């Protein structure tokens, strides 16, 4: 049994593992409760998982929720959330919360984002005004939100980006990771509970860049390590090769988080390689649009073949 403690209120303990594959069961302890891993995090970008109440999420077995710090800064605003008692109170969710920094949106919303040396210039999706998000500002926002886990500002390059573009994004991400950790150390929680921060390993499909990224982040030191920049257009073979590489680079006792992965097949593939945490909008987005994952595969209830079908879905 392995146990890793990085700061007060947080620990990750390996309960069991398969020596052949590296798959493992773990216990993640936080100030807002325990998460047994592997665990999937439903995405509530603006502080709510669309179509589901906190009770629905709990009934479905959800243990931890993900929200987006950058989006919450635009609506309703981190200062308003702080005044209302933090994101847990606003959401009515007593369990752990992880907030992403918004770095993934440099890929998914590239038309609204402009990376600069000092941060990311963003056009507000609410009313179109321009804002500069620095690594320090992202930490300050997440302090106001009071979430359990904070993610640093990073740049997510496309899976089809060339090596030079990936290398440039990686260098910027590493610089911001150092700024994030420094500002994290200099700031304090605002809601009485400690907060932990992850490092994000970028580097595209290039083994040497991923190796360099992991080594640099380990030198800085974070509670856990996330694998970013995957499921963004690269081949499945490249994705799982990089996951295996990174899982071997991250120390066994640290928690591993694969960002943005959510199909049943991908979850199985990642768990078999020793990943502990996941997030994706896919399950709830698909459900709202009538597309379902079943034992027989994916089906779309909006297809005409189901118009008069009165059988159970599964």
**Averaged pLDDT in 10-residue chunks for the chain of 314 residues:** 62 95 96 98 95 95 97 96 98 97 76 89 90 96 98 92 95 97 96 96 97 97 96 94 97 96 94 97 91 92 94 91
Q: Return d(Cα 261, Cα 277) in angstroms, integer.
A: 10
Q: Return d(Cα 307, Cα 304) in angstroms, integer.
A: 5
Active site residue 100: yes
Helices (H), the chain: 54-59, 69-74, 78-83, 87-91, 105-108, 135-145, 163-186, 207-220, 236-249, 264-271, 282-288
Contact 229, 45 (CB under 8 A): no
Q: Report which DSSP code applies to 43.
A: B
Q: State the catalytic residue, choosing from 55, 154, 279, 309.
A: 279
As a three-state string, the secondary structure of 164-202 is HHHHHHHHHHHHHHHHHHHHHHHCCCCCCCCCEEEEEEC
At 105 the pLDDT is 77
Which residues have C-beta within 8 Å of that of residue 278, sequence separation ≥ 6?
Answer: 38, 39, 40, 41, 257, 258, 261, 262, 267, 270
At 158 the pLDDT is 87
Q: State the catalytic residue, choosing from 100, 148, 266, 276.
A: 100
Global pTM reads 0.95
Quote the Cα angle for 169-173-174, to 5°.
Answer: 120
Q: In the structure encoding, which two tokens stand for residue 232, read together?
A: 């963004």
At 5 the pLDDT is 43
Q: In the structure encoding, which two tokens stand for residue 227, read together?
A: 């694998």
Q: In the structure encoding, which two tokens stand for residue 265, read together?
A: 């097949």
Active site residue 164: no
């Amino acid at each position: 049994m392995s146990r890793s403690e990085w700061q007060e209120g947080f620990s990750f303990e390996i309960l069991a593992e398969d020596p052949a594959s590296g798959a493992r069961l773990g216990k993640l302890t936080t100030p807002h409760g325990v998460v047994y891993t592997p665990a999937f995090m439903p995405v509530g970008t603006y502080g709510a998982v669309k179509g589901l109440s906190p009770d629905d999420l709990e009934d479905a077995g959800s243990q931890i929720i993900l929200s987006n710090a950058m989006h919450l800064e635009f609506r309703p605003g981190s200062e308003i959330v702080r005044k209302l008692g933090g994101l847990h109170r606003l959401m009515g969710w007593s369990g752990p919360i992880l907030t992403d920094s918004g770095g993934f949106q440099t890929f998914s919303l590239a038309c609204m984002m402009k990376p600069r040396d000092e941060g990311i210039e963003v056009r507000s999706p609410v009313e179109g005004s321009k804002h500069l998000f620095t690594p320090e500002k992202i930490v300050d926002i997440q302090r106001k939100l009071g979430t359990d886990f904070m993610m640093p500002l990073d740049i997510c390059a496309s899976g089809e980006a060339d090596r030079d573009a990936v290398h440039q994004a990686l260098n910027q991400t590493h610089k911001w990771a150092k700024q994030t950790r420094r500002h994290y150390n200099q700031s304090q929680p605002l809601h009485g509970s400690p907060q932990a921060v992850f490092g994000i390993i970028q580097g595209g499909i290039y083994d040497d860049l991923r190796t360099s990224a992991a080594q640099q982040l380990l030198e800085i030191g974070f509670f856990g390590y996330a694998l970013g920049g995957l499921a963004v257009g690269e081949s499945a073979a490249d994705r799982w090769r990089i996951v295996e590489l990174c899982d071997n680079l991250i120390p066994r006792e640290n928690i591993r988080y694969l960002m943005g992965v959510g199909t049943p097949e991908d979850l199985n593939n990642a768990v078999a390689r020793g990943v502990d945490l996941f997030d994706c909008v896919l399950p709830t987005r698909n459900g709202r649009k009538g597309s379902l994952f079943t034992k027989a595969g994916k089906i779309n209830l909006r297809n005409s073949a189901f118009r008069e079908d009165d059988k159970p879905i599964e």
